[in-house]
Chain A
Amino acid sequence: MSQRRKEQFDYHQFRQLLKTSLKLDIRSSQGMQYGSSSSRIPQVFGVLMFYFMVSIGLSVSIYMIPSIFTGTLIITAVVMAFVALNILIEFGSIILSPDDFEILSPLPISSRTVFYSKMANLLIYSAAITLSLIIIPTVTLAARTGETIATLMFFIAEMFAGITVSMIIALVYSTLLKLISAERLSAVLSYAQMLLGFTVWFGYMITSRVFGKSVLSVGELTQWWVFILPPAWYASLMGIAGAVESGNWVWSAMLGIVGTVLAVLIGAKYLSVSYAASLSRSVSVSSQTKSRGQSAPVGGSGAWRRWLKPEDLCVFRLIWSHFKYDNKFKMTVLSLLPLSAMYFFLAGSEGIVDPFAGSFNDSGAFMIFIPLGILPIMILASLIYSTSYKASWVFFATPANLADIVLAGLKFVHFAFVIPYAIIYAIVLGFFYGSFVHSLLFTTILYLLVAILLRITYAFLGKVPFSIPPKKGQQSSLFVMMLFVMPVFIISAILLMFLVSRSNPFIAVPTIFTVLLILNWISALFCRRKIRIKAIHLRYSD
């Protein structure tokens, strides 16, 4: 056995690395780096605050649901989904950090020590998310039952669930680091992230729809198959407090404990040794593969030049290059396809009705509006951050119009996503409505609505594309922001649908079109003006 395989864990170094990584997490996520948006409050705290607000909703569940076991089960499922989603979104800054490799690899630290410190950092992060999600439900449960053991078991169950799910995700990634050849590592990790994200999101959607409508009146769940579900493994710990009727809780809780112990042990013993070496190969390969391919001249054909500014063409070219060579960005874009298909499928299963035929169905509408309402904003958000942010100096050092550069990002999303999506909507809705004229009319209304929202969002969010380094908490805070923007779009869309279906279409449709066109004009003016003012304060992030 080589000496490398005998690398030992060093507690002193571990403590120093963990202390430093936590310090960096807090400091590196403090606000944006330039302009008026600078804030000294770490974005990690913003994310935790959001989860704290979600926990208020969860505490209603634990208070209202008649069965304590069922309430715990639902909260555990939500905790697992949120922790998993957060770690998937932030994975680039939690586990895979080429910066760490560049700085730490020349120092006399074993890869096992580095990996342990990373895992400890991850556990603290996921424990903080779990805590912020369950702190109010725990107090609520204590007030409801007055039982110390039940409260304690609830707290332990949720913490175990949060920690286990984060460890499992880390293990999946680390196993990939061990198994996949360096040449394919970077790409495979991105595909794995997309697949995991899709699985978690889809699972969350299905679970919430299964329990969603009557969640507050669900009684004690005693079916054996319920106890096979991972959230039930941890909710079953409530059996120790005598809060589970079915005897199945014993083996289910054992599964949970064994699952947690195995996840921690395997992570600690099996995967640590080759982590740094694999990461080193991945970093080397990624730096080599980035230079592949032939570059077409910026500027394109003459026809484009008439409609687009040189800044637009540069940004379009930049985004296309990122799509080809930046796996994270590519996966963000590609993940929209299965997500859209999922929402269309769910909407179709609820029933999509034609508002021009006087029909109205808010539940189907909710699903069908999500892809157009949220996905282009996801792309807009992902246009800001990149590990290649240093390359953005070119926009600051040349006479390019910075405002036009920023606005070009919005144009790209408009041309590459919103318009194609609108066309797909027209086709899909036409199929369900049975009238392509109706579908075209309603799609145009939706298109005008989403254009307004995109411009307003971009007026606040817009930056020079790929000019900000990715930091912990930023992706999550953008995700949180989208959760606030999406309901605005959906409620507006449902309201419009309601108006169309309940009033005389010959009056309602021209009125709606006129109002939306005026709002589009105002939002365009607002966005341009806001971006031009912001552009004056934009600085290069070195």
Chain B
Amino acid sequence: MLKVERLTKHFGKLQAVRNLSFTVDKGELFGLVGPNGAGKTTTIKMIVGMLDPTDGDVHVNGYSVAENPVEVKKRIGYVPENCALYENLTAREYLELVGNLHHLPQKRITSQIEKLMKSLDLEDAIDRRMTGYSKGMKQKILLTSALIHNPDLIIMDEPFTGLDSNSAAVFKQLIWQLVAGGKTVIFSSHILEVVEKLCKRLLIIHKGEKLACGTIDEILAHAGETTLVKSFSKLTGVTDVEHRASDIIDALE
């Protein structure tokens, strides 16, 4: 389904992503994990065709992002980290725009919007401008816009940020059901507990480089630790967590 080959991205002198390669199979739930600034979002933006890689390529269902970005984007549903929306539109207007840009028939757009909004408890807000929406409501709209064209590959960048626990539970269940229905889902997250619970395989990146890739068991074995949190700390070189916290308390005093 997804093949990432030697993906590299430079911003001037900064190397955001270095020589990253991995594959994700059809129907797989794949996690992308890394500390802040590790290059997760940059990697995702290159996969969805928002950023041109400095080197390397991405293939989705055999289509190259560099060679055929429009075909790739037809097959991807993307939930961005920041709530980038035309907030002066109503939710219905925005979702109709996205549906139309995917060339969906108007009837299908209308019914999809109604169904998705109802299941996400947003039917009352559907005809209100999104300027007054909370972060969680915006996140739900982004999820709806990512699913409206029924894509094969769904990519979510920090999808649980800003969601209340009920919405997060719905999102988690939704991810499971999407995968059970044969969809491929990739998501990035800081929350290792969620990743551990949801994902079969995951990729840990740090400073733009691949540290480990495989099933949870393979990663635990690779790091020689018993939990994912400890493995993550060890692989990313942050082992003095308590000491750092004490330093902060000292600074406050």
Would you give the 0/1 interface string for A265-285, flagging 1 where the beta carbon is closer than 8 Å to chain B?
000000000000100110011
Q: Is the CB of A107 within 8 A of B101?
A: yes
Does B61 lie at the interface of the complex (its beta carbon under 8 Å from any beta carbon of A)? no
17 contacts between A and B (CB under 8 A): A12-B100, A13-B100, A16-B100, A23-B88, A23-B89, A99-B86, A101-B50, A104-B101, A105-B50, A106-B48, A106-B50, A106-B73, A106-B78, A106-B80, A108-B73, A108-B74, A109-B73
Residues of A within 8 A of B102 (CB): 107-108
Residues of B within 8 A of A147 (CB): none
Q: What is the bound-complex CA distance between A281 and B129, given in angstroms? A: 31
Chain B nearest CB, measured from A279 CB (Å) = 11
Would you give the 0/1 interface string for B1-44, flagging 1 where the beta carbon is closer than 8 Å to chain A?
00000000001101000000000000000000000000000000
Would you give the 0/1 interface string for A81-120, flagging 1 where the beta carbon is closer than 8 Å to chain B?
0000000000000000001011111111110000000000
Q: What is the bound-complex CA distance between A99 and B89, given in angstroms? A: 14
Q: What is the bound-complex CA distance between A5 and B89, given in angstroms? A: 32
Q: What number of A-B contacts does a CB cutoff of 8 Å give? A: 85
Q: What is the bound-complex CA distance between A102 and B93, given in angstroms? A: 18
Choose one: B52, B73, B98, B103; the contact of A277 (CB below 8 Å): B52
Would you give the 0/1 interface string for A335-359, flagging 1 where the beta carbon is closer than 8 Å to chain B?
0000000000000000000000000
Residues of A within 8 A of B11 (CB): 284-285, 288
Q: What is the bound-complex CA distance between A107 and B64, given in angstroms? A: 16
- Given known A16-B100, A106-B80, contact A28–B88 (CB-CB < 8 A): yes
Does B238 lie at the interface of the complex (its beta carbon under 8 Å from any beta carbon of A)? no
Q: Is the CB of A24 within 8 A of B101?
A: no
Chain B nearest CB, measured from A423 CB (Å) = 40
Q: How large is the interface on B (under 10, 10 to 19, 20 to 34, 35 or more residues)?
A: 20 to 34
Q: What is the bound-complex CA distance between A277 and B93, given in angstroms? A: 27
Q: Which residue of A lies closest to B76 (CB)?
A: A106
Q: What is the bound-complex CA distance between A49 and B113, given in angstroms? A: 39
Q: What is the bound-complex CA distance between A288 and B13, given in angstroms? A: 10
Quick one: which of B48-90 are within 8 Å of A by CB?
Answer: 48-52, 64, 66-71, 73-74, 76, 78, 80, 82, 84-86, 88-89
Residues of B within 8 A of A148 (CB): none
Residues of B within 8 A of A109 (CB): 70, 73, 101
Q: Is the CB of A103 within 8 A of B51?
A: no
Residues of A within 8 A of B191 (CB): none
Q: Is the CB of A107 within 8 A of B86?
A: no
Q: What is the bound-complex CA distance between A281 and B12, given in angstroms? A: 11
Does B169 lie at the interface of the complex (its beta carbon under 8 Å from any beta carbon of A)? no
Residues of A within 8 A of B129 (CB): 27
Does B97 lie at the interface of the complex (its beta carbon under 8 Å from any beta carbon of A)? yes
- Given known A24-B86, A102-B80, A284-B11, contact A2–B100 (CB-CB < 8 A): no
Would you give the 0/1 interface string for A1-13, flagging 1 where the beta carbon is closer than 8 Å to chain B?
0111001000011
Chain B nearest CB, measured from A248 CB (Å) = 49
Would you give the 0/1 interface string for B103-137, flagging 1 where the beta carbon is closer than 8 Å to chain A?
10000000000000000000000000100000000
Q: Is the CB of B89 within 8 A of A289?
A: no
Quick one: which of A27-82 are within 8 Å of B by CB?
Answer: 27-28
